[in-house]
């Protein structure tokens, strides 16, 4: 499925009218500058398949940031003013499809900047296209190879913590808050996400003295009862949902309670709890979830209002991540005063201290772990579902 998004209609008519009036000799010094050209911003998003909630969150978060720039008169670069247009292609949360649509964005749409995919499979699938082409890419997958690769992540930035950054702090939190927990159970997707992310989490638990049982399923599965019954037989104390996509995480949570698991259920990975609550319903009560967004904060509340004005449905936790990243990119383009991706990349690397709208001060890290500082670090939290809503229980770490 190919989705393309533009912002024409009333604002375009208003811009044309402004040009006409200027030609008639009327002074419009206070009006926003009229965009002279169009700049395509690419996005690779799972708009079907297991990661659909994340894909929609990506698309909507970037679109809201671009809307703000367009409403302010466009993006001014090198003496020109550009109207920003988001071009989104569906990767179906699939590595092979991500490579196909990345090629379309690079070769057909001539996009020099791409947001997504969400998740490791698509990110790893698209890098062989974007990196040799020097296309700047902003992703959220956890696999270390996203930043530690043959291109030394020259043109890719990870815009949210991976489990390299949050696994150990969360496990230490579990140890402090749940002293009776001794054995961990995990059921994970048998794809790049599971293969790359789960070993990091298992290592973090074992380092703190936990016994860990792990089993895998094929991505897209809907029925987990046999695996959950097998897990119950292992007498695990805590069920860890690791990096499962929201739809699958919600089903695992719901079905775990239905088969009789009584212990705590925690997800150390992914963003956004609302979609999981939507799937699991009342059985989500007490669920614990890693998250990056506190909806009560003023910056998030403002974004939430804009989101609800434009879109219906659940406010996905991925939206603020990509909204924040889009603002970081636009600031780097402004500072570079160029669309040359190498110049913009260099400005991105120097953005430390820039106050981004959601996560605040930009902190790039990762040199020791990945060989480059293209990993964004930011605060993260643990939410607990109470009376059908995710509420902040603890701040686990902060920059």
Residue 332's pLDDT is what? 98
DSSP 30-43: TSPPPP-EEEEEEE
Q: Is residue 258's pLDDT more than 90?
A: yes
What pLDDT does 148 receive? 95
Q: What angle do CA 264, 142, 174 make, to 5 degrees?
A: 25
Residues 6+ apart with CB under 8 A from 378: 160, 161, 292, 359, 360, 363, 399
Asked if residue 335 is part of any domain, the answer here is: yes
Number of domains in the chain: 2
In the predicted model, is pLDDT for residue 4 greater than 50?
Answer: no
Residues 6+ apart with CB under 8 A from 182: 210, 211, 237
Q: What pLDDT was estimated at residue 215?
A: 97
Sheet strands side by side (includes 183-189): 211-217, 183-189, 238-240, 265-267, 288-291, 380-386, 389-397
Residue 368 lies inside a defined structural domain of this protein: no
Mean pLDDT of 253-268: 98
Which structural domain, as residue segments, surrounds residue 386?
163-291+381-397
Residues 286 and 168 in one domain: yes
Both 76 and 89 in one domain: the answer is yes
Asked if the structure places residue 36 within a domain, the reply is yes
Written as one string, the DSSP assignment of 50-68 is: TTHHHHHHHHHHHHHHHHH
Whether 267 and 322 share a structural domain: no
Helix H or strand E encompassing 347: helix 341-349
Structural domain contains residue 371: no
The band of 249, judged by pLDDT with boundaries at 50, 70 and 90, is very high
pLDDT of residue 18: 40
Residue 182 has pLDDT above 50, yes or no: yes
- The answer, yes or no, to whether residue 171 has pLDDT greater than 50, is yes
Domain assignment present for 370: no
Q: Determine the pLDDT at residue 43.
A: 99
| pLDDT at residue 20 is higher than 50 | no
Does 25 map to a domain? Answer: yes
- Tell me the percentage of the chain whose pLDDT exceeds 90: 74
State the pLDDT at residue 297. 85
Following CA atoms 246, 249, 251, 253 in sequence, which dihedral angle do they give, to the nearest 10 degrees?
-130
Average pLDDT over residues 79-91: 98
Residues 41 and 152 in one domain: yes
Q: Is residue 375 part of a domain?
A: no
386 and 312 in a common domain: no
Instruction: Assess whether 90 and 24 both reside in one domain.
Output: yes
- Identify the residue whose tokens are 């040359």: 340
CATH at residue 354: 3.40.50.2300
In a domain, 81, yes or no: yes
Residues 150 and 170 in one domain: no
More confident residue, 343 or 219: 343
| Residues 128, 183 within the same domain | no
Kindly indicate the confidence band of residue 194, based on its pLDDT and cuts at 50, 70 and 90.
confident
């Amino acid at each position: 499925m190919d989705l393309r998004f533009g912002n024409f209609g009333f604002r375009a008519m208003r811009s044309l009218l402004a040009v006409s009036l200027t030609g008639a000799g009327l002074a419009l010094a206070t009006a926003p500058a009229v965009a002279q050209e169009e700049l395509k911003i690419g996005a690779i998003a799972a708009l079907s398949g297991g990661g659909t909630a994340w894909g929609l969150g990506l698309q909507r978060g970037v679109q809201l940031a671009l809307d703000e720039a367009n409403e302010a008169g466009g993006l001014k670069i090198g003496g020109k003013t550009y109207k920003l247009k988001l071009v989104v292609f569906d990767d179906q949360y699939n590595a092979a499809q991500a490579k196909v649509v990345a090629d379309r964005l690079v070769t057909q749409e001539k996009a020099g900047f791409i947001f997504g995919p969400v998740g490791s499979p698509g990110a790893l699938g698209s890098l062989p296209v974007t990196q040799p082409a020097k296309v700047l890419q902003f992703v959220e997958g956890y696999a270390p190879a996203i930043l530690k690769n043959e291109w030394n992540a020259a043109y890719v930035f990870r815009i949210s913590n991976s489990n390299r950054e949050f696994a150990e702090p969360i496990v230490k939190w579990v140890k402090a808050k749940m002293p009776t927990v001794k054995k961990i159970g995990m059921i994970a997707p048998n794809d790049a996400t599971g293969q790359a992310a789960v070993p990091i989490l298992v290592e973090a638990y074992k380092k703190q003295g936990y016994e860990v049982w792990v089993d895998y399923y094929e991505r897209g599965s809907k029925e987990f009862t046999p695996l959950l019954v097998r897990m119950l037989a292992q007498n695990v104390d805590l069920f860890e949902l690791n990096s499962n996509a929201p739809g699958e995480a919600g089903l695992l949570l719901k079905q775990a309670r239905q088969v009789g698991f009584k212990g705590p259920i925690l997800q150390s990975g992914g963003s956004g709890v609302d979609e999981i609550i939507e799937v699991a319903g009342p059985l989500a009560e007490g669920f614990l979830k890693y998250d990056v967004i506190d909806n009560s904060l003023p910056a998030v509340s403002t974004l939430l209002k804009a989101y609800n004005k434009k879109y219906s449905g659940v406010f996905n936790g991925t939206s603020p991540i990509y909204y924040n990243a889009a603002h970081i990119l636009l600031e780097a383009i402004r500072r570079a005063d160029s669309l040359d991706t190498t110049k913009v990349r260099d400005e991105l690397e120097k953005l430390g201290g820039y106050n981004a709208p959601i996560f605040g001060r930009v902190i790039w890290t990762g040199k020791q772990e990945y060989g480059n500082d293209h990993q964004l670090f930011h605060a993260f939290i643990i939410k607990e579902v109470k009376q059908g809503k995710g509420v902040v229980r603890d701040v686990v770490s902060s920059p």
